[in-house]
Amino acid sequence: MGLDVDALLTPPSPVAARALEVARAWCTPALVNHCLRSWAWASLLATAESLDPDRELLFVATMLHDLGVTQSFDAHTVPFEDAGGAVGSVFAVGAGWSGERARRVGEVIERHMWPSVDPVLDLEGHLLEVATSLDVSGAGFPRWSPADLRAVTAAVPRLDFSGSFHALVHDQAVRKPGSAAARLDGSGNVLAGSDRWMDFLRDVV
Annotate 94-155 with DSSP letters as a single string: HTT--HHHHHHHHHHHHHTTSS---TTT-HHHHHHHHHHHHHHH---GGGS-HHHHHHHHHH
* Number of domains observed in the structure of the chain: 1
* Residue 4, in any domain of the structure: no
Say if residues 124 and 96 touch (Cβ distance below 8 Å): no
* Residue 88, in any domain of the structure: yes
* Residue 74, in any domain of the structure: yes
Say if residues 190 and 134 touch (Cβ distance below 8 Å): no
* Tens digits of pLDDT across the chain (205 residues): 689 999 999 999 999 999 999 999 999 999 999 999 999 999 999 999 999 999 999 999 999 999 999 999 999 889 999 999 999 999 999 999 999 999 999 999 999 999 999 999 999 999 999 999 999 999 999 999 999 999 999 999 999 999 999 999 999 999 999 999 999 999 999 999 999 999 999 874 4
How far apart CA 169 and CA 96 sit, in angstroms, is 32
Structural domain span for residue 36: 10-204
* Residue 2, in any domain of the structure: no
* Residue 1, in any domain of the structure: no
Say if residues 84 and 66 touch (Cβ distance below 8 Å): yes
Angle between helices 80-94 and 14-26 (to 10 degrees): 140
pTM for the predicted model, two decimal places: 0.97
* Residue 3, in any domain of the structure: no
* Residue 99, in any domain of the structure: yes
* Residue 111, in any domain of the structure: yes
Q: Which of 68, 15, 62, 56 is closest to 37 using CA atoms?
A: 62
Residue type, 148: D
Q: Which of 185, 37, 191, 26 is closest to 113 using CA atoms?
A: 185
